Structure 1
Amino acid sequence: MQRLPFATQKLPSRAVITVSGEGAKDFLQNLITTDIEGLKPGEAAYTALLQPQGKILFDFFILAQDGHYLIDCSAAQRADLIKRLTFYRLRAKVTIAESDEEVGVAPVKPANGASFTDPRAAQLGARLIAAKGSLPAGEDDAYRGGRIRLGLADTDEDIGSGDLFPHEANLDQLGGVSFKKGCFIGQEVVSRMEHRGTARNRIVPVYAPKGAPAKGTEIKAGDKLVGTLLSSAGSDGLALIRLDRLKDAVESGIGLLTETGPVHVRKPAWARFDVALPKDNEDE
């Protein structure tokens, strides 16, 4: 897929946290799902902070800078994320603070400034962290539609807080979980799901020829619930799908339906898990 044609713009739904101090790296490394030990200044990772029970509390991007880290997170969750990080700080020599910088996206990574190629999918261009007021406002339809078509979940629209395991939101597929680093919060549960292969639910892209219905709409195969629609843009959407039930439906020749019409599941190009598709459906 070619790079998506969206213009440089700010994302009002995102905000920035600064984590600094001599203990910043070790502090974050012991909490989050990704291994940031080797991150060099200017490099970024997609990651999450989990409940002890293994479900996602916050998913975010973390950008290494000289002597500190910038967190690109949901603006609606920023205060709660700072509160949670502060709770875990204890005696660590770390400063956690809101930043007045804003987050944006651009088709390509600029030569200067705090920016990074989206670590989930290079097709989504670059994410920018810039001074307040420096990024142009604009409609995010092209960016948002591209995100959805690529099968990438959004914090506010799709993932939420405390609802999904990392595997269900595909963090294991998108570099958002390290299974080789030392302990992190919720690691035991997440590692068990990985080794036992017990993740039955996954967020996947879907296509609804008659237009995607509202968020929360049930997707069924006959009388059996297969999934629930999440965010959508036009006829494209994301849905949380029970893959075993999808497989049963495909093998039985039963199509997926919502209250507004048929829905077709797609397998994103980055997915390493199996997605049952009818023979006449092409993968992403």
Structure 2
Amino acid sequence: MIPYKMNNTNTKIIKVSGKNIENFFQNIITNDINSLNKKTPLYTAMLSPQGKYLHDFIMLKDEGFYLLEANQSNIELLVKEIKKYDIRNDIFIEVQNDIYTKVIIKENLNRKFLKKIGDKKIYRDKKFLCLIDPRSENFLYRFWINEKLNELAEFIFSDESEVEEKRIYLKIPNSEIDLVYNKSFILNYNFENIKSLSFNKGCYIGQENTAKQKFRGTQKYSLQKIKITDGVAPKLNEDIFFNGFKIGTMKSSCAKVCLCLIRNDTINNNTKTITTDNNFTFEIL
């Protein structure tokens, strides 16, 4: 199984502060920074000037600074990308090496704690910080824990298989394996539906091409959830063909249920079950 990277110790948290930090981020991220406050986390992305995926992360706002949680393997690239736009050298970034993340699928979080936090999307405790994953209110809770403290014995954290099954069920892509750095377009990968985009905020890096795909109908693919009904699922990023034409590309999977990038014209033909040239049959769920 391919690990779900925004889980356990596979992410890093960075602290970003500086002069006019809010305006700075508003110009380089896909979501609206005005939607972020001390009570609500934000999920967003950074794109190339051509509108191609570079980074995605979860943001929290605190007094005079932001905290960003991103895939650990891309932290150095993310820091460089942020600093690239810091022309006046007003932005300061610190990697929070003493904090790590654990997660619990929403339905598995104990009822006593759920009752304690109520409808709060961010809950601060002396031992940890808990936030609901902003990509979907039905997904999971994230716990930011100081490594100097003992493991939180009162919680049973979710394992990789549980997280993967729920992630794929909700059509949430794993950006580290499903998307291709500086090549993928995020609208193809369901980013609009997992709350990472604002089409009302004005300009940001990569906005022009993203808006063109949205409003001029140039988006050719979309991320779909499929079930393999016969045969063996293709490997990650293997292209899928039907009657000699490429109709999609396989993405992450969990058993027989997978995420797949599928041409929109294939979906628009009301085709629900397809037997491919790759010798497997799938159903679009």
TM-score (norm. length: structure 2): 0.81
Q: Which residue of 2 aligns with 1:237?
A: 258
- 1:161 equivalent to 2:161? Answer no
1:256 and 1:64, CA in 2 relative to 1: closer, same or farther beyond 3 A?
A: farther
How many positions carry a matched residue from both structures? 256
> Does the CA contact (< 8 Å) of 1:222 and 1:254 recur in 2?
no
- 1:261 equivalent to 2:280? Answer yes
SS in 2 for 1:147: helix
Rounded Cα–Cα distance in structure 2 between residues aligned with 1:258 and 1:65: 53
Greater shift after overlay, 94-103 or 53-62?
94-103
Q: Which residue of 1 aligns with 2:238?
A: 217
- 1:81 equivalent to 2:95? Answer no
Q: Which residue of 1 aligns with 2:138?
A: 123
- The 5 Å alignment of 1:111-150 reads 111-112=123-124, 113-132=128-147, 139-150=159-170
- Percent of matched pairs sharing the same residue: 26
Rounded Cα–Cα distance in structure 2 between residues aligned with 1:84 and 1:135: 34
Rounded Cα–Cα distance in structure 2 between residues aligned with 1:256 and 1:121: 32
> Does the CA contact (< 8 Å) of 2:8 and 2:101 recur in 1?
yes
Rounded Cα–Cα distance in structure 2 between residues aligned with 1:138 and 1:119: 18
Rounded Cα–Cα distance in structure 1 between residues aligned with 2:7 and 2:220: 35
Structure 2 residue runs without a partner (length 5+):
1-5, 118-122
Rounded Cα–Cα distance in structure 1 between residues aligned with 2:235 and 2:56: 24
Rounded Cα–Cα distance in structure 2 between residues aligned with 1:257 and 1:18: 47
Rounded Cα–Cα distance in structure 2 between residues aligned with 1:130 and 1:232: 29
1:214 and 1:53, CA in 2 relative to 1: closer, same or farther beyond 3 A?
A: same
Counterpart code for 1:102: Y
Rounded Cα–Cα distance in structure 2 between residues aligned with 1:261 and 1:70: 44
Q: Which residue of 2 aligns with 1:55?
A: 52
Cα deviation digits, residues 77-108 of structure 1 (max 9, x gap) = 11100011111112153211211121221234
Rounded Cα–Cα distance in structure 2 between residues aligned with 1:65 and 1:184: 23
Of residues 28, 32, 36, the one that matches 2:29 is 32
Rounded Cα–Cα distance in structure 1 between residues aligned with 2:179 and 2:39: 26
Give the drift of 1:231.
Answer: 0.7
TM-score (norm. length: structure 1): 0.82
Rounded Cα–Cα distance in structure 2 between residues aligned with 1:10 and 1:150: 16
RMSD of Structure 2 on Structure 1 (CA)? 2.4
